[in-house]
Amino acid sequence: MPEREKCFEQAELRLYSLKEKMNFSDLQFERIKSTIFKSSIWDRGIDEAIVDFMNEFDEDEKEEMKFRYETAKIASTSAKELWNQLNKCSDIELPKESIIIILSYFIEYFKEFADQFNDNKDTEVLIHLRKSLEDIKQM
């Protein structure tokens, strides 16, 4: 297996170890992951693409996609809203320490991609997540 693929596989495994560490169900974890991924890069183009994409699903799938769409959109506005939406995704009130752990794992995950594809320079996602992490630490 090429070195780059190994790095990505290990990053993915570390990210999924968060699911076990925090005792999230598959659905909770996928909702959290989806919210963090989308909220970090939200813009009008993504907004329109997601709405178009959601229309292709059946009603049950559409409801889940709508939930993820709404949480990511709201989470993109501020660190406090990100925290609120992650609480909504997990169906529990996550303490500050848990939010810090979650964001740290995702930062580590995206850092691997930045190292491999962006010459070790932070991407927009990393900048957003690091800012959110710092804001939450200050709360």
Q: How many CB atoms lie within 10 A of CB 25?
A: 11
Give yes or no for residue 113 having a pLDDT over 70.
yes
Query: From residue 35, how far is each of 1, 7, 75, 125, 135 by CA, in Å?
Result: 31, 24, 7, 12, 18
Dist CA 101 CA 73 (whole Å):
22
Ordered by start, the domain boundaries in the chain are 3-138
- For residue 4, the model assigns a pLDDT of 72
pTM (2 d.p.): 0.85
Q: What is the tens place of the pLDDT at every residue in 52-77?
A: 777 777 888 888 888 988 898 899 89
Q: What is the tens place of the pLDDT at every residue in 9-46?
A: 888 899 999 999 999 999 999 999 999 988 877 766 76
